[in-house]
Amino acid sequence: MDRGKSAVLRMMRRPEMIVPAGMTRGPLKRCRVGRLVAACAIALACCPLAGAQSPADLVQQAKIISNTIPPPASAPALPDYIISPDDVLTITVYGAPDVTGEYRVSPTGHIALPLLSAPIVAAGQTPGQLSEVISANYRKAEIYLHPLVTVAIKESRVHAISIAGAVKRPQIYPVFGKTTLLDVLSQAEGLADDAGSLAIITRGVIAIEIMNSTEACGGASKSASCDGTFSVDLSRLTETGDPHLNVDLYPGDRVTVQRAGIVYVVGAVNRPGGFPLKTGQENMTVIQAVALAEDLKPTAARKNALIIRNNPAKGNGREEIAVNLTKVLEGREKDARLQANDILYVPDSTGKKALHRGAEAAITAATWGLIYHY
């Protein structure tokens, strides 16, 4: 109670508050008195509670509060990196620039270091273990008294993610920890023009071990990314940025981006060629193919177009499907769907072609006649 009274007395002896410009002292004084009375009431009410609690009680309350706070969820830990043959190591011996450098692990798993009479076994050890072995060898040979050695991994063929298929730069992407699918696609400089809508991901040994140790992959409702092989819809990932589709990848995983099929348009069209199916689109229609080929030529035999499709069941391994482009373009016939590797062939009409050539010759002669006349 004495501590409460002393606190009240200290508050009463506070210096005068500064009166802002434009404000009279009377209202400010009444406001200060009201706040002082409220502060006194709170202080007197809290004094018995503070006096009744001992330091031991306060410590006990703190323990109770800390026990009620749940511990943070721990992320699955990556296993220690194990050095493999053909790895490139950066070995640093502080104070010894002649020894510091890059060393490739031999196919037998050894490395040869300067000033040591015998090679050291590196494969099968972690970087920390190898640094201790190197330090012990230099001490044993009495070359360095207390060598400080660090080992870092610069390149690794085993601890990497391979990305192949319809990407601009297929490669083996060195990675020593967890990464994501979008990061790997970015490392490959994005998707190729003929990329399909699916990426097939095959898990490596490290990823399988980590997935088996997580709770998300233990129940019956586990996600598809827990399987050894699964697919990801790239069109949804790139358009919506869904974080569930941007799956985590680990060393040893393999990503294969499927190629979209190509539809070929040849014959009496303005721009013949092969046109890849758009990402997320399994097929295109005949009208869409004609539009990509920049329409038909005036000499096209529209009623005699053909779709040439691979069909192993046929005798020659393919079938020909007749298409009447006149009826299709007028909407009187169904717009057929083309499949991957289909060929839409639009033949030339011989009569139309001859007539068209005659008209071109007449226009040319008339033009030269006008030029000669002037």
CA angle 46, 48, 52 (to 5 degrees): 120
Q: What tokens appear for 317 in the block?
A: 């391994």
- pTM for this prediction: 0.53
Q: Which three-class secondary structure string do you get for 335-347?
A: CCEECCCCEEEEC
Residue numbers of the domain that contains 286: 262-352
- Residues in the chain predicted with pLDDT less than 50, given as ranges, are 1, 4-5, 7-9, 11-29, 31, 33, 36-37, 40, 43, 45-52, 58-59, 65-66, 71-75, 280, 359, 362-363, 365-374
What pLDDT, on the 0 to 100 scale, is given for residue 367? 47
User: Are residues 244 and 224 part of one domain?
Assistant: yes
CATH code where residue 229 lies: 3.10.560.10
Flag whether 306 is in a domain: yes
pLDDT digits (tens, 9 = 90+) for 252-271: 899 999 888 888 999 999 99
Q: What tokens appear for 242 in the block?
A: 């869904």
Rounded Cα gap, residues 185 and 249, in angstroms:
12
What pLDDT, on the 0 to 100 scale, is given for residue 221? 52
What pLDDT, on the 0 to 100 scale, is given for residue 157? 76
Flag whether 364 is in a domain: no
Q: What tokens appear for 286 in the block?
A: 């005949």
What pLDDT, on the 0 to 100 scale, is given for residue 325? 92
Beta strand extents in 17-147 (DSSP E only): 88-93, 101-104, 110-111, 120-121
Domain count, the chain: 4
What pLDDT, on the 0 to 100 scale, is given for residue 31? 46
- Looking at 225, 259, 293, the residue that finishes a domain is 259
Q: What tokens appear for 204 in the block?
A: 């490596």
Neighbours of 13 (CB within 10 A): 7
User: Are residues 180 and 123 part of one domain?
Assistant: no
How do strand 254-259 and strand 160-165 relate by DSSP bridges? Answer: parallel
